[in-house]
């Protein structure tokens, strides 16, 4: 048996899209989308947010609506750092006379 969540997008039920139309004739509504709940997996396409939002638009509207509460859950008061070896610069060029620099950055192990 499949489990479903209602999309958490705050405006999901206001989108003028055929998939939102529900109800009987004369009593039609635009309704929040049902989202199939999938178990977490290693498949490349699996993203946890897909269990709670029907699309990225609804996800980003939720973020916009709840950003202060989300930041309060895991505030960052200090920057994070990843130790790296001294970067080296490599200069490349092509047959058209263009050249460009590319920094090689390697993490310390």
| By the rule CB under 5 A, 54 interacts with Zn ion | yes
**With contact defined as beta carbons under 8 Å apart, do 84 and 108 qualify?**
yes
Of 10 and 89, the one with the shorter C-beta distance to Zn ion is 10
The DSSP element (H or E) to which 50 belongs, if any, is none
Of 14 and 88, the one with the shorter C-beta distance to Zn ion is 14
Q: Which of 1, 9, 3 is nearest to 49 (CA)?
A: 9
Region at 97 (left for phi over 0; alpha for psi -120 to 50; beta for the rest): left
Residue count at the site for Zn ion (CB under 5 A)? Answer: 6
| By the rule CB under 5 A, 59 interacts with Zn ion | no
The site string for Zn ion over 14-53 (x = CB under 5 A, - otherwise) reads -------------------x--------------------
């Amino acid at each position: 048996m499949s489990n479903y969540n209602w999309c958490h997008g705050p405006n999901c039920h206001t989108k003028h899209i055929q998939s939102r139309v529900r109800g009987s004739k004369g009593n039609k509504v635009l309704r929040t989308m049902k989202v199939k709940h999938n178990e977490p997996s290693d498949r490349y396409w699996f993203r946890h947010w897909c269990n709670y939002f029907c699309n990225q638009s609804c996800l980003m509207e939720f973020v916009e609506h709840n950003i202060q509460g989300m930041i309060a859950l895991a505030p960052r008061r200090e920057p994070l750092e990843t130790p790296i070896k001294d970067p080296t610069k490599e200069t490349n060029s092509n047959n058209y006379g263009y050249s460009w620099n590319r920094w090689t950055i390697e993490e310390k192990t």
